[in-house]
Chains A and B, each alone.
Chain A
Amino acid sequence: MRAFCILFFWLGIGLHSFSQTELPAVAEQHIEQMAENSNDVVLNDDSYNQHLYELRRHPININTANPETFNELMILSPLQVESLIEYRQLFGNFISLYELQSIAYWDVYTIKKILPFITITTQLNIKEVFKERVQKGDHVLLIKTSRGIEKSRGYLIDSSSLSNHYLGSPWAISVRYKYQYKNLLQYGFLCDKDPGELIFTKHQQAGFDFYSAHIFIRKLGLIKSLALGDYVVNLGQGLIQWQSLAFKKSSDLLSSKRQSPILKPYQSFGEQNFHRGVGVTVGNKKWEATVFGSYRNIDANMVSDTMNVDGMYVSSFQNTGLHRTLAELADKHVQQQISFGGNASFSKNNGHVGFNFMHYDWKLALIKNSIPSNLFLLTGRSLSNFSIDYHYTYKNVHFFGETAVSSNKSIATVNGLLMSVANCADIHLFYRKISRSYQSLQTNAFTENSTPVNETGFFSALSVRPVYGWVFEAYSDFFTFPWVKYNVNGGSIGSEYLLKITYKPSKQLEIYTSYKTSVKIENSQGDNSINLLPLNTVTHKAMRTQFEYKPTKSTILRSRVEMVWYDNMTNRPEEGYLLYIDWIWKALKKPIGANVRMLFFETESYNSRLYAYENDVLFSSSIPVIYGKGIKYYFNLHVALSKKLTCWVKWAQTSYFNQKIIGSGLDLINNNRKSECKMQVLYHF
């Protein structure tokens, strides 16, 4: 089923009065861009949001933090991180945050972005730190529930007459407990039930549909990090393993370089993209080694086959994490997966080189249908990948890249550079060449395709700040796909361009306009009975203008207008239009805040769809796919009932004109309205 909504994350509390519900414009655009790229993929990783939330409560001490800590923020470029470390080595500890202005490659925009997450304190000794780890951390309990008001067909079907229906209630329930002391120690567990899933019944005797638990310790002498339970692994530039959040194309120059510690705790409600077992990183200033192992039962589409030695095989892995129907429950945890891997790296001065290894073993063989687009895809019972990654900074240029090989001896390589060419200008170049037969799992490299396979491309981006208040950003990307891929029955080429101009003359006002155009090749839309559809050039153009104004300290007004033009050379060209107005309010002296959106949209079909980031309850955001014709509104309210207890409520409703039903299949709603309510409680103790 096409994902109607991409749930996400973000935000925190802290210095900024709107911080609990507001997201920086750049971050919103990243997420919107990810939604556009992901299409059918549902993302529900809120770990980055949680990370920023924690950093706002316990900011990074810039006198002691290492480069990895800064990289994890995904706000600073590698050049900026290295110049900060160099500055600290040269002049000693920072005395004031005002000193940040003196660091090379740091400008006022960067400082504004990072200020909420950093501080200057004196360092505690190891014993004090260890004692504080277990005693002075925060316990946080989060309970979240939501449901769609209008019941879809899946809930209304008579279960005695038809087996394909949703077994559970339309309520979604999530509970998460976490103890955290800065980034040094954390442990917690979570449980989750999606809409339509069962809870505490005979089909779901475990109670909730999904459980996760973790213990994660950092900086324990030689042990840099120790993960027990659920954790994620990020290696190199994402060619052989990357389970954390990573951005795709955007005007932000940081988007292409993958930056993260290798091991991170897993603390999100997503049910697929993590490992379960043990991982440890040891090392000193120059050397570092990581090993990890995992055993999990994962969802897969199992097929009976008497010709197979096991009597069955797996045709695909299931990544939705949804277990609402008998068919979905039948796929639950049917595949046993053992995975292990490691990394050994050496860092000196401004350089780094790492050797990475990743291996998967499955109980049941993965077998694909014999169609051209499947010819080079992953099959069999195991997968191994090996890679070498590097980065090196020479003067004002930062080079980085990774070259990987999969067990079928196919090669993938990505290489890029970030260059600060003037005080007010940066450029970014990125080249990738990935074999059509390269195989990987749970990866997220900087590619046009959702996974690194069958692609050659060159991306270049430019950011110029000619005078205070003005930012010009642009990128171009050219790519070729030598082999057939989903919805493209042949080798194809494409290109994409973006130009964005931002004007921010003061803290109160920000206006930006962007124009993006892309040309890609797709199968022509026509007679589906034809097996080999001819290819067409598809042109997609989008123009967006957004205005944000803060008339008072407690209020933000925001408005966006966006137009989309779509032409697939077969049917009549289409247009899409979106306009929304936001009102965001936060009482200055009372712990209460609210935001309201009114959104109008009109698109001719799904092809001319649009995406708009929506504010949500803390840690969550949604990026609904907007198409059709109608109006949508929502309001969010959050109140701190005490210093420890905060509540959120959200109500959203979409009304479609000229439409009597919404959705399809089991998600079909016999109404022209779709409503959703969401409630969340956060308790600190």
Chain B
Amino acid sequence: MLQVLFVLTSMAQISSLVNYSPAINIGAYSQCQSDGYSFVNNQAALTSIECFGMAVCQEKMFNLSEINKVDAIVAIPTSLGNLGCSIGRKGFEGFSETNIGLAYARKLSNAISIGTQFNYYSFKIPSYFHSASMNIEIGTLIRFSPKLNAGIHVFNPVRMMSGKNEDNKLPYIYTVGVGYDVSNDFFICTEIVKQEDQAIDLVGGIQYQFDKRFFFKLGFMSENSSLFSSLGVVYKSIRLEALFRYHPQLGYSPGLLLSNHFKHK
């Protein structure tokens, strides 16, 4: 536990605050597999929803209850564009991170969507340290064809600080991704992620609906050679996913995602 906390907190940037989890958000570049949670990865993906939805996700990072992570999102379609809200908390009474985000997205044309999100972050170690910050992220999605989508996402382009110390800065993250719907059931995507002061991370993933009610996701992140996967079941409007991530040094991170069923436009 101490080792993991040390790893997380000794990083020069508070990158652990960033709600980046490809196992959950892989569908952002798909027109068939996109879901309500996809906007967490790229806000432009909000435009693919057509009815109200909500989801809750819990992940026990590296199988340690002290860094339990809980996120919730709400997605609301409107005639002027779609709105999203996310809230998340990680940690325990002696260490916690909280984030709240408000997102908005709309279509500029049939081929181009754009979205943005405003975030509030809080990082707290009681009786020792507390900092808070706001930032912005912007995403766009381009549909080259009914099967091929690409997107660009920028997190914290203005390099907002979390507190006064340079060590507590929020990193900027640039992401470029491409997704291809091989069929209505099978989707592949890849992302190139550049986070400030980190090596380029190549992310690859697939999602396969192998049965009317079952699907799985599988992928990797090259920067730390970690794997992610999920197995999901769909029942009417409810969708339940068992998440599983593996880091070669820090171990396994199990999780659970419960969401309603978002219809696609």
Q: Which of B218, B220, B225 contacts A493 (CB 8 A)?
A: B225
Q: Which residues of A are found within 8 Å of B208, using beta-carbon distances?
A: 419, 421, 427
Q: Does A474 contact B (CB under 8 A)?
A: yes
Out of B183, B202, B227, B249, name the residue touching A425 (CB < 8 Å).
B183
| Bound form: Cα–Cα A462–B180 in Å | 13
Q: Which residues of B contact A458 (CB under 8 A)?
A: 227
Q: In B132-160, which residues have CB < 8 Å from any A CB?
A: 147
**Interface check B126, CB cutoff 8 A:** no
Which residue from chain B places its CB closest to the CB of A480 in the assembled complex? Answer: B248
Q: Is A512 an interface residue (CB 8 A)?
A: no
B220→A422 contact, CB < 8 A: no
Please state if A466 and B206 are interface contacts (CB–CB under 8 Å).
Answer: no
Whether the Cβ atoms of A460 and B183 lie closer than 8 Å is no
- Known contacts A423-B183, A466-B182, A497 near B218 by CB under 8 Å: no
**A495 in the interface, Cβ–Cβ < 8 Å?**
yes
Known contacts A464-B180, A493-B225, A495-B225; A478/B218 CB under 8 A = no
Interface centre among B225, B248, B249 (most CB of A within 10 A): B225
* Residues in A whose Cβ lies below 8 Å from that of B202: 497
- Render A447-478 as a binary contact track against B, CB cut-off 8 A, 1 for contact: 00000000000101010101000000010101
Which of chain A's residues has its CB closest to B218's CB?
A: A460
Query: Main SS of the interface on chain A?
Result: strand
- In the assembled complex, B188 has its CB within 8 A of some CB on chain A: yes
Chain B residues numbered 186-230 whose CB sits less than 8 Å from any CB in chain A: 186, 188, 202, 204, 206, 208, 210, 218, 220, 222, 225, 227
Q: A464 to chain B: which residues have CB within 8 Å?
A: 180, 182, 188
Expressed in whole angstroms, the Cα–Cα distance for A515 and B147 within the complex equals 25
Nearest CB of A to B80, in Å: 36
Decide: A429 and B218 in contact? CB cutoff 8 A: yes
Q: How many residues of B contact A (CB 8 A)?
A: 19
Query: Does A424 sit at the interface, judged by CB under 8 A?
Result: yes
Whether, in the assembled complex, B167 has its beta carbon less than 8 Å from a beta carbon of chain A, the answer is no
Task: Decide: B220 and A476 in contact? CB cutoff 8 A.
Answer: yes
* Chain A 415-441 interface 0/1 with B at a Cβ cutoff of 8 Å (1 = within): 000010111110101000000000000
A residues near B222, Cβ cutoff 8 Å: 476, 495, 497
Known: A421-B208, A458-B227, A462-B206. A478 touches B248 (CB 8 A): yes
Q: Give chain B interface residues in 162-189, CB to chain A under 8 Å.
A: 180, 182-183, 185-186, 188
Per-residue contact bits, chain B 222-243, to A (CB 8 Å; 1 contact, 0 not): 1001010000000000000000
- A458–B247 Cα gap in the complex (Å)? 12
**Once the chains bind, are A462 and B183 in contact (CB under 8 Å)?**
no
For residue B207, give the distance in angstroms from its CB to the closest CB of chain A: 10
B253 to chain A, nearest CB (A): 15
CB distance from A173 to the nearest CB of B (A): 49
Q: How far is the CA of A493 from the CA of B202 in the complex (A)?
A: 18
A421 lies within 8 A of B220 (CB): no
Q: Is the CB of A466 within 8 A of B227?
A: no
Let me know if B220 and A478 touch, CB within 8 A. Answer: yes
Interface residues of B (CB under 8 A from A): 147, 180, 182-183, 185-186, 188, 202, 204, 206, 208, 210, 218, 220, 222, 225, 227, 248-249
